[in-house]
Amino acid sequence: MRKFAALLIFIFIPSLFFAQNTISVSRLDNKPIKGASIYCVDKFLGKTDDKGELKFSTKCKKIQIKALGFYDEESFVEKNMKVQLTVDDPKQKAIETVTIADKNDPRAIALLKKVNNHYDENSPKSLDSYSFKAYEKISMDFDQDSIASFKQFTNNRLDSLKSLKPNINQNKNKKKDSLEGIQFMHLLQDSKLFIWERAMEFLWSKKKGEKTLVLDNRVSGLNQPLYEMMTLRSNRNRVPREIKEENRKLYRFFLTDSLDIDGRKTYVIKFRPASYKDKNNRRKFTGFLYIDAATYGIKKIEHNSKIKNEGYISSTWTLHNGKWFLQSENLKIRLGNTVFNDSNKKAEEKTENSPKRKPKSFGNYAYMKSDYFDFTTPLTNREKDFEGYSLEVRNANGKLLDQYRTDSLSQRELTTYEKIDSVGKKYKIDQKIGLLSGFVKGKLRLGMFDFDIPKILKFNLHEGFRTTLAVKLNEKFHPYISPDAYVGYGFRDSQWKYGVGVDVKTSLKRNAFFRVEYFDDVIAAGRFNENLWNMKMGLMNSEVDLNNNRFFRYKGFKMAYEHDITNGITLNVSSKKQNEEALFAYNFNNLGQNFQNFSTMVTLKYAPKSKNIMTPSGKFTFEENYPDFYLNYEQGLNLFGGELNYSRWDALLVHQFKTKIGTSGIRLYGGFTTGNAPIWHKFMMNGLGNGNNQLNYNLTSYLGFATMEGGKYFNDKFVGTYITHRIPWYFRTFGKNISSFDLVYRGIIGDMKDTKIHQFDFEKLDHLYQEVGLEWNNFLATQYNIGFFYRVGHYASSDFKHNFAIQIKFKLLGF
């Protein structure tokens, strides 16, 4: 039963063994095919009989099916298999010459370009407003044709176990495992492995944006809904992957015919994976695209796996008010096998002549069925529904699902809730699922404790390697009060750092809380503010001080209040009193290197298109959409012992957009300070270079320069930009990962009003610093991007090595 608990968490069981199998081969009209040959690689296993059936045993995980006059097929080996063969149609010969040559049909590509060009005007989001409802059912179970065989096997197995003599030598744990194994067999006879239902309503307004209401939700085995999984996306509001231009290298497309669907002329495009290399496979199509001739809208997509019984995906759209709304989706994906060992050497009495028993395996599949209905446009009197976050859970106990189900639950599905709920309670599946969902937010959740994963290990030139243990008490401790603490140690400066704080929420419906904290830590001088940055931005910028040792210590306390005014606007107001001390040779205006500072700060984040949901653990941004805008204003005051009087502003704009010539992104940022303050209240120019005669190589950073020497340039005013453009050329090197190239430009310029009052070795950057680069995404099909950068313009050196740098970037960090 422990194994079953793990299965519910990871939804994966490996396939290891083989058994007696039966295959049924038929035409698409379900007529049996006699004499179909079955092969394991090159080994002939037999031919089908008059009923199109064959019984066989094999060690192979998949087999080949061949019949005269039909295209060849492949199938995973299961207890019972049903395979349908496609007739070798003479009409296909006209396109087979192109197919065998491994080229796309130019007519199909031209049609797909029109589909992409008309996608926005065909999208429901081109309307002023609309709403529709959805019912989704996701489950995990054996293949439907294998359930009867599984029941027969388990009954026989259970009968044989009853006849065994008790094994008095078994310890307590082994007896428990044996008992749980029997319970597991009983459980799966009448129950699925997993089921999840949800009813939702989707609303759209050009003025208000998109809003999703979870009308009801129920998950077998869990007491709380899967908030993070509620954000799973489908083809509902995005360009299907089969249509995207960047995926053209994955498939070969062929325009075959046109037909009438619902009285409308519809083009049919067949496609297959480009990875098919042999001539027979090149004639086999795995998918069909149905394109409306009048609007170039997508009517339907059918995508089957390369191998029979591996899975399929089907999406169908309907024309409503001149726009194509998704009407239904169906999915089946193979997730491996459940394996039952049919022998027990210690428990069963055996003789020399007793037959060797073989393990039994049954294929596991994930199923998804989605229906969309009640399309309404335009909307009236729905203004209040758009308030709050992008996704709102109205109910999550399953009591309202009957109102929205498009088909009734089977007895097997009803039993799943009853049996799996008891298993989930017994093995505390909620806690284990929470552990996994925490990783999405960069946290390790253990009971009431959340550990901050990105802070565990970092590196900078002052501290060297720094390890930090940061822990926060989550909602399981208290729904409103959340204390936290951290302790860190730098192996180069041999110093401990620490901090303690507490958040007190004022609402459970939105992000709103007071915070008080005390700290004693170090940070690089002149760092650009990262307030309200998301985890990916902060993680990408975490190594910006790789070659910088200009750090200062800050010790004191801070009070703050943070509040989400709307779904897209967050405001943070804070005040702090701290002692600040330079940790490098520095003298500010002959006043020394140690100061008392009291300051207030206002931070504003504006992300109008990002989508959020409120969960018991806090706000979760499940979809980052640009533009994003960040603004910080800090004011030093001569109050409460503060010695500094200054104003510091900084701002960051992030945007990404797609045009016909590719995808472009821009980060525009800058800042300025007024008044007299030490260098750490100015701006460092974020150099990542090592500043010596060695080659520059470093990790990417959000606002850093690969070729600039670290800790060298400081300004009291500046403006910088990062521009990237993805070339619309996509190619494969190895495997299925698609590679591409980004052109990158980085530039920054500013000034320092009075450099003499800052008595240490640095330079102001008062000319345009520029570097250009080429970034190879999915380098050699890996999950890394490799960037090659070169310094140009005023600061360029005559030495190539000083101008050149190599950067590594994790693909998951995105733009």
Span 375-398, average pLDDT: 89
State mean pLDDT over 186-196. 72
Question: How much is the mean pLDDT over the chain?
Answer: 83
User: pLDDT band for position 477 (50/70/90)?
Assistant: very high
3 state DSSP class of 173: helix
Say what the pLDDT of residue 88 is.
67
Q: What are phi and psi of 233, to 5 degrees?
A: -105, 160
Q: How far is CA 425 from each of CA 406, 416, 428, 757, rounded to the nearest angstrom?
A: 29, 14, 5, 66
90-111 as b/e: b if 16+ CB within 10 A = eebeebeebbeeeebbeebbeb
Query: Stretch 238-251: mean pLDDT, rounded?
Result: 81
Q: How far apart are CA 529 and CA 630, in angstroms?
A: 9
| Locus of tokens 């899975």 | 311
164 pLDDT higher than 60: no
Q: How far apart are CA 553 and CA 536, in angstroms?
A: 26
What's the pLDDT at 177? 47
Instruction: Say which residue, 143 or 665, is predicted with more confidence.
Output: 665
CA angle 259, 262, 263 (to 5 degrees): 70
Confidence of residue 771 (pLDDT cuts 50, 70, 90): very high
Structure confidence at residue 96 (pLDDT):
47
Backbone angles phi, psi at 384, to 5 degrees: -65, -25
- Residues 82-111 have a mean pLDDT of 67
Average pLDDT of the residues in 484-504: 97
Q: Name the 3-class secondary structure at 167.
A: coil
Extended strands (E) in 462-617: 464-473, 481-490, 495-505, 512-524, 551-564, 569-582, 587-588, 594-606, 611-615
> For residues 734 and 727, is the Cβ–Cβ distance under 8 A?
no
Q: Report the 10 Å Cβ neighbour count for 670.
A: 20
Domain with CATH 2.60.40.1120 in the chain: 16-88
Look at strands 391-393 and 209-219 and give their pairing.
Answer: parallel
- Give the model's pLDDT for residue 351: 46
Written as six digits, the tokens of 74 are 């492949």
DSSP secondary structure, 230-264, as one string? GG---TTSS--TTT-GGGGGGEEEEEEEEEEETTE
What are the residues whose beta carbons fall under 8 Å from the beta carbon of 549, sequence distance 6 or more?
A: 460, 461, 462, 584, 711
Cβ count near 177 (within 10 Å): 14
Question: Which tops the pLDDT comparison, 89 or 543?
Answer: 543
Alpha-carbon dihedral sign for residues 252, 255, 256, 260: positive
Q: Cα–Cα distance between 617 and 438 in angstroms, integer?
A: 9
Specify whether the CB–CB gap between 218 and 417 falls below 8 A: yes
Residue 108 has pLDDT above 80, yes or no: yes
For 255, how many CA atoms within 13 A lie in the half-sphere containing its CB? 13
More confident site: 317 or 98: 317
Residue 732: the pLDDT is: 78
For the residues 282-296, what does the mean pLDDT come to? 82
SS3 of residue 576 by DSSP: strand
Burial of 785: CB neighbours in 10 Å, binned 0-12, 13-18, 19+:
buried
Rounded Cα distance between 157 and 152, Å, is 9
> Which residues, in sequence order, are bridge partners of residue 301?
289, 315
What DSSP designation does 69 have? Answer: T
Distance of alpha carbon 589 from alpha carbon 428, whole angstroms: 62
Does pLDDT of 728 surpass 90? no
* Strand-pair partners of 217: 198
238-267 average pLDDT score: 84
Query: Taking the model in full, what pTM does it have?
Result: 0.76
Tell me the average pLDDT across 565-583.
96
Which pLDDT belongs to residue 345?
A: 44
Mean pLDDT, to the nearest integer, of 598-619? 92
Give pLDDT tens digits for 114-135. 999 999 999 999 999 999 999 9
470 CB contacts (<8 Å, ≥6 apart)? 451, 452, 455, 484, 485, 486
Q: Which of 3.40.50, 1.10.10, 1.20.140, 2.40.160 is the CATH number of 506-813?
A: 2.40.160
Question: pLDDT tens digit string along 208-232?
Answer: 889 999 999 888 766 555 555 555 5
75, pLDDT greater than 80: no
Asked if 788 and 779 count as a contact pair (C-beta separation under 8 A), the reply is no
Q: What angle do CA 637, 640, 646 make, to 5 degrees?
A: 15
Rounded to an integer, what is the distance from CA 208 to the centroid of its chain? Answer: 26
pLDDT value of position 146: 61
Q: Tell me the CA distances in angstroms from 154 to 39, 151, 179, 190, one per residue in order.
A: 29, 5, 14, 11
- 3-state SS class at 753: coil
Q: Which amino acid makes up residue 430?
A: D
- CA dist., res. 93 & res. 333, Å (int): 32
Calculate mean pLDDT across residues 727-750: 87
Evaluate whether 808 touches 784 at the Cβ level (below 8 Å).
yes
Distance (Å, rounded) from C-alpha 164 to C-alpha 175? Answer: 14
Q: State residue 705's pLDDT score.
A: 95
In this structure, whether the domain defined by 16-88 belongs to CATH 2.60.40.1120 is answered with yes
- Residues paired with residue 687 on neighbouring β-strands, in sequence order: 705
Provide the pLDDT for residue 99. 47
Bridge-based pairing of strands 769-777 and 758-759 is unpaired
Residue-wise DSSP of 10-52: H--B------EEEEEEEETTS-B-TT-EEEETTEEEEE--TTS
Please, which pLDDT band fits residue 178 given cuts at 50, 70 and 90?
very low
Find out whether the peptide bond into 378 is cis, omega within 30 degrees of 0: yes
Average pLDDT (668-675) is: 96
What's the rounded Cα separation, in Å, for the pair 472 and 445?
9
Q: For residue 183, which phi and psi values (nearest 5 degrees)? A: -60, -35
Q: Cα 6 to the chain's mean position, in Å? A: 22
Domain with CATH 2.40.160 in the chain: 506-813
Higher pLDDT pick, 172 / 710: 710
Q: How confident is the model at residue 233 (pLDDT cuts 50, 70, 90)?
A: low
Range with the poorest average pLDDT among 265-269, 436-440, 442-446, 608-612: 436-440
CB neighbours of 113 closer than 8 A, spacing ≥ 6? Answer: none
Contacts for 464 with CB less than 8 Å, ≥ 6 apart: 490, 491, 492, 493
At residue 600 the predicted structure's pLDDT band, cuts being 50, 70 and 90, is very high
Q: Which two tokens stand for residue 307?
A: 């191998």
The string of pLDDT tens digits covering residues 776-796 is 998 888 888 999 999 999 999
Give me the pLDDT at residue 193, please: 75
Compute the distance between CA of residue 611 and CA of residue 227 in angstroms, rounded to an integer. Answer: 13
pLDDT on residue 772: 97
* Separate counts of helices (H) and strands (E) for the chain: 11, 46
Q: Is the peptide bond before 90 cis (omega within 30 degrees of 0)?
A: no
Helix (H) or strand (E) holding 539: helix 535-540
Min mean pLDDT across 72-81, 260-269, 434-443 is at 434-443
First to last CA, the chain: 43
pLDDT at 693 over 50: yes
> What percent of the chain is modeled with pLDDT above 90?
46
